[in-house]
Amino acid sequence: MSQLALPLQLADHAVFASFLNDGNEILVATLSSLAAGQEGHGCWIWGSAATGKTHLLQAVCEAAGDRAVYIPLSSLTDAGPDILEGLASRELICIDDVDLIVGQAQWEAAFFDLCNQIFDAGGQLLMTANTAPRECVVELADLRSRFLKLPVFQIQALDENARVSALQLRSRHRGLELPDDTARYLLKRSRRDMASLYEILDRLDKEALRAKRRLTIPFVRDVLTAILD
């Protein structure tokens, strides 16, 4: 998996096969094509928290291998803009949560230089944010113009039925079977954002393996009770 000389690691579940693309079919198809080598500048992906933006960026990196690099700004902003140096040597540069650094002069200047290096080298820049690029308060006009050149995709949140399907897809990816009634019970008894649901599912996976149990409602209830206690 692609890494800098930093403690970065892709999540083992963050692949295209484990992402339910309901409502996001064009976005997922575009990212799959970019990971496979399609030419272009990249794209800007925006949407609310816990809708799968990080998953998709990491899926691109997993599919592209050493051609790509993943940079989670939520974990690296304290390191300063120097972390951007040398990234243009990769073909696909995936920057998560770029909105965290807009409005900061040093970061914006470093990003502007990175954009120029990437585009001059024929690379591609893939970024995520909570807002569309036109709504990002970018102070450096030249950087704003670079951002606005990227194709923009708004990631769509999953509805109730799709959340059940997404949980079942993730379960199958981990070798588990999650019945409909158990999945709906889980939705009613825990936080409903997908990040929290996936975190609980990971816990259930470990507990089911340890106890050699299936994901029945009684078993899930017992695990949730232990978590809450």
What is the CATH number for 23? 3.40.50.300
- Report pLDDT digits (tens) over 33-68: 999 999 999 999 999 998 999 999 999 999 999 999
Please report the pLDDT score of residue 12 as a whole number. Answer: 67
pTM listed for this prediction: 0.90
70, 94 contact by CB (below 8 A): yes
* 106 vs 228 pLDDT, higher one: 106
Specify the number of domains making up the chain. Answer: 2
Output the average pLDDT for the chain. 92
Q: How confident is the model at residue 3 (pLDDT cuts 50, 70, 90)?
A: very low
Of 154, 174, 192, the one marking the end of a domain is 154
Confidence check: pLDDT of 2 > 50: no
Q: Do 148 and 178 belong together in one domain?
A: no
Is the residue at 102 inside a domain? yes
Is the residue at 76 inside a domain? yes
Q: Do 137 and 179 belong together in one domain?
A: no
Query: Which of the residue ranges 4-18, 37-51, 146-160 would you say has the lowest mean pLDDT?
Result: 4-18
Confidence check: pLDDT of 31 > 60: yes
Q: Do 34 and 105 belong together in one domain?
A: yes
Question: The CATH number of the domain where 175 resides is what?
Answer: 1.10.8.60
Domain, as residue range, for 136:
16-154
Tokens for 155, please give them: 């990631």
